[in-house]
Structure 1
Amino acid sequence: MARTQAADYEQRREAIVEEAAQLFAARGFMGASVADLAEACKTSKSLIYHYYPSKEDILYAVMASHIDQLVQDVSEVSAEGGDAKAQLRAIVHRFMQHYVGAASRQKVLLNELDSLPADKRAEIVTRQRAIIDTVTRLLCEISPDLASDPARARVQTMLLFGMINWTHTWYDPAGPVGPDTIADMALSLILC
């Protein structure tokens, strides 16, 4: 007889992912064991493996949960419509809000991609490229001269992501400058 799923199954999976994000961000994927994760979750290794078949599956869940939120942001902004500048502004603002609340997941996404098996890494990279392509398209709509120079358009896109993606390394949520101000500052540098 198949084992029934606990009513709080998804909440437990998410709790494991949250602890794993903190642990992998602090120690790196290779520096953190499933035993460390079980200790952080105040549970057993076997219970961790009940929810996730492998440590790599947990890493994938950390990354996928974060990148899927960003993909959703892009999709929602696109569905809302508006001109390219308004859409780009909305995307960057949403991303900065998520980066503040998910600094560990962002750090894991940026630093541990090579720790994923090739098939899972390809899935994450495909989602990242979709985001990058959307932002590149918006930049080209805002500055039509970029459309005739795809290499420059891609560089401009990556400069924008370079500014916002790494804020987790220095941003202080209790500091005097909020994420919306940082988003506007990054946009003003890119769109000048």
Structure 2
Amino acid sequence: MARSRAHDFEAKQRAILRAAAAVFAEAGMDKASMAQIAGRADVSKALLYHYYPGKDALIFDIIRTHLSELNAAIAAAENATLPPRDQLRALVHAVLEQYRDADDYHMVQLNGTRTLSDTQRQEIVALERAIVRRFATVIRAIHPDIDQGRPILTAVTMSLFGMMNWAYMWFRDGGPVSRADYADLATDIFLGGFERLH
């Protein structure tokens, strides 16, 4: 008979993922150990191995969870009744809010994808592409002729992601610019340059 899940399985799994992301962000993918992760999560190594057979499985689940939740947050922010510029602003706000307290997850995504198997990498790439498509659809609605003459939609979309994804390097909650302020600032900078595209 299959063993049933404990009532707090998902809460413990989430705590393990948070702890593992912190250890990977601090020590690096290669130097981090399962013992360090178990210690940070305040669980036994045996329990950690019950959830994840090794570091590779942890890295994959951290990235998959981070991107799946990001994609869901963006989907929840989509509102086709808004003008396209307002739709874009809502998506930028959703991303930057989802990034709150997620710096460790973000660092694992940036540095850990190379350690994944081909199958795992394909799943992560599919999630990343789904997220980018959500933005590209709105950007095309703002500028329907964006790819006339030369295909630049992807380059333009990824430029906006550059402003959002690298904010973790310098942005600090409680600083002179709030998270919502930066979401508006990034959107305004993007739209200001975007409207000058030919």
TM-score of the alignment, normalized to the shorter chain, above 0.5: yes
Q: What is aligned with 1:3?
A: 3
Preserved contact between residue 24 and residue 32 of structure 2 (Cα < 8 Å)? yes
Q: Contact 2:78–2:90 at 8 Å: present in 1 too?
A: no
Give, in whole Å, the separation in 1 of the partners of 2:46 and 2:91.
40
Aligned to 1:177: 177
Maintained 8 Å contact 1:156/1:190: no
Q: What SS class does the counterpart of residue 151 from structure 2 fall into?
A: helix
For 1:2 and 1:162, locate their aligned partners in 2 and report how far apart those are by CA, in whole Å. 46
| Counterpart AA for 1:45 | K
User: Identity rate of aligned residues, in percent?
Assistant: 34
The structure where helix makes up a greater share of residues is 1
Aligned twin of 2:195: none
Q: Tell whether the 8 Å contact from 2:25 to 2:108 is kept in structure 1 after alignment.
A: yes
Match of 1:29, SS state, is: coil
Instruction: Name the CA distance, whole Å, in 2 between partners of 1:134 and 1:34.
Output: 36
Match of 1:44 in 2: 44
Counting matched residue pairs gives 192
Give the aligned partner of residue 66 of structure 1.
66
Q: Structure 1's 184 and 149: CA in aligned 2 closer, same or farther, altered over 3 A?
A: farther
Secondary structure of the structure 1 residue equivalent to 2:99:
helix
Q: 1-side partners of 2:127 and 2:60: how far apart?
A: 13
Distance 1:37 1:170 in 2: 26
Per the alignment, residue 34 of structure 1 pairs with 34
Aligned equivalents of 1:158, 1:172: Cα separation in 2: 23
3-state SS of paired residue (1:144)? coil
Alpha-carbon distance between aligned partners in 1 of 2:149 and 2:88, rounded to the nearest angstrom: 19
2:9 is aligned with 1:12? no
Q: 1:79 to 1:191 in 2, by over 3 A?
A: closer
Contact 1:136 1:154 in 2 (8 A): yes
Paired residue secondary structure (1:151): coil
- TM-score, with structure 1 as normaliser: 0.92
Q: Distance in 2 between matches of 1:135 and 1:121?
A: 22
Residue in structure 2 matched with residue 167 of structure 1 by the alignment: 167
1:138 equivalent to 2:138? Answer yes
TM-score by length of 2: 0.89
Q: Would the alpha carbon gap of residues 11 and 84 (structure 1) be closer, same or farther in structure 2, given more than 3 Å must change?
A: same
Which secondary structure does the structure 1 equivalent of 2:146 belong to?
A: helix
Partner SS for 2:29: coil
1:67-146 to 2 correspondences below 5 Å: 67-78=67-78, 81-146=81-146
Runs of at least 5 residues in structure 2 that lack an aligned partner in the other structure: 193-198
Q: Relative to 1, partners in 2 of residues 1:84 and 1:173: Cα closer, same or farther, differing over 3 Å?
A: same
Give unpaired runs (5+ residues) of structure 1. none
Instruction: For 1:181, give the aligned amino acid.
Output: D
Return the letter of the residue paired with 1:84: P
Letter in 2 for 1:126: A
Contact 1:100 1:168 in 2 (8 A): no
The 3-state SS of whatever aligns with 2:3 is: coil
Q: Alignment RMSD, CA only?
A: 1.7
